[in-house]
């Protein structure tokens, strides 16, 4: 733990896991953190995984799914499709390709969430994503607010909608997670107006070697 507390943020690189080895490392990190924090057993991963790495070791992970590819995991909690919910709530004309779901958030120390979210915001903005959907506990939502995302509550994440999968989540739902939405373009304006270090907001996207 002493090593984690002294880990320089600038020594970490943002990287998408494109080969099986790196994907496995991020999945193992996610599983370990959810087991430790919530006594949860994670089997579901979003199709794209990103991490903060030092050398070959990941210290933080997050998953991503663009809504036009397939149904979102969190749409299980919704009564309508994601774009319908957002358009009705915020009077927009969003298409599914404008929306991304993020999840599988795991870090080896709380301080890494800020750097992870900054890189993720730039990644998604570079891909033309306008709005984010995610399931967040109050702690995670507060971290996003500090970055300027201003999460908008949509509906409580009702575990009964998961059926038998509910048992896999340990005591995660005791933390009262909500499905939330965030205007990424507004968040990017806030980030760009802030004095965040250049090393944390580089728009360069680093990829792992393809398997």
Extents of the domains making up the chain: 64-195
Q: Percent of the chain at pLDDT above 90?
A: 72
Per-residue pLDDT, averaged over 147-158, amounts to 90
Q: What does the chain look like in DSSP terms, one character per residue?
A: -HHHHT--GGG-EEEE--SHHHHHHHHHHHHHHHHHHH--------SEEEEEEETTEEEEEEEEEETTTS--GGGGG-SS-HHHHHHHHHT----GGGEEEEEEEEESSTTHHHHHHHHHHHHHHHTT--EEEEEE-HHHHHHHHHTT---EEEEE--GGGGGGGGGGGTTGGGG--EEEEEEHHHHHHHHHHS---GGGS----EEPPP-
Looking at residue 10, its pLDDT comes to 60
Q: Which of 26-40, 74-88, 104-118, 183-197 has the lowest mean pLDDT?
A: 183-197
Task: Kindly list the strands in the beta sheet with 152-156, ordered across the sheet, starting from the edge strand earlier in the chain.
Answer: 152-156, 178-183, 131-136, 99-107, 57-66, 48-54, 13-16, 206-207
pLDDT for position 1: 43
Range with the poorest average pLDDT among 67-81, 99-113, 142-156, 163-177: 142-156
Architecture of the structural domain at 64-195: 3-Layer(aba) Sandwich (3.40)
Residues of the chain above pLDDT 70, percent? 87
Higher pLDDT, 176 or 11: 176
| Cα–Cα distance measured from residue 5 to residue 211, given in angstroms and rounded to the nearest whole number | 33
pTM of the model: 0.86
Average pLDDT rounded to a whole number, residues 132-141: 92
Q: Residue 44: its pLDDT value, please?
A: 92
Mean pLDDT, residues 193-203 taken together: 49
Terminal-residue alpha carbon distance, the chain: 32
**Structure confidence at residue 210 (pLDDT):** 35
- Confidence (pLDDT) at 150: 86
């Amino acid at each position: 733990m002493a090593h984690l507390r002294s880990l320089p943020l600038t020594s970490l690189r943002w990287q998408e896991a494109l080969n099986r080895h790196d994907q496995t490392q991020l999945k193992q990190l996610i599983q370990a953190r959810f087991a430790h924090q919530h006594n949860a057993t994670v089997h579901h991963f979003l199709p794209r995984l990103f991490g903060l790495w030092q050398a070959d070791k990941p210290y933080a992970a997050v998953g991503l799914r663009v809504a036009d590819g397939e149904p979102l995991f969190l749409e299980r909690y919704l009564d309508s499709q994601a774009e319908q919910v957002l358009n009705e709530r915020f009077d927009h004309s969003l298409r599914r390709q404008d929306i991304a779901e993020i999840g599988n958030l795991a870090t080896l120390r709380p301080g890494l969430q800020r750097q992870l979210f900054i890189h993720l915001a730039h990644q998604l903005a570079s891909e033309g994503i306008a709005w984010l959907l995610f399931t967040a506990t109050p702690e995670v939502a507060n971290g996003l607010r500090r970055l300027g995302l201003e999460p908008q509550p949509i509906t409580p994440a009702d575990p009964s909608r998961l059926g038998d999968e509910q048992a896999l989540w340990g005591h995660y739902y005791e933390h009262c997670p909500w499905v939330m939405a965030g205007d990424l373009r507004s968040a990017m304006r806030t980030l760009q107006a802030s004095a965040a270090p250049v090393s944390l907001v580089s728009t360069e996207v680093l990829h792992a070697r393809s398997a």
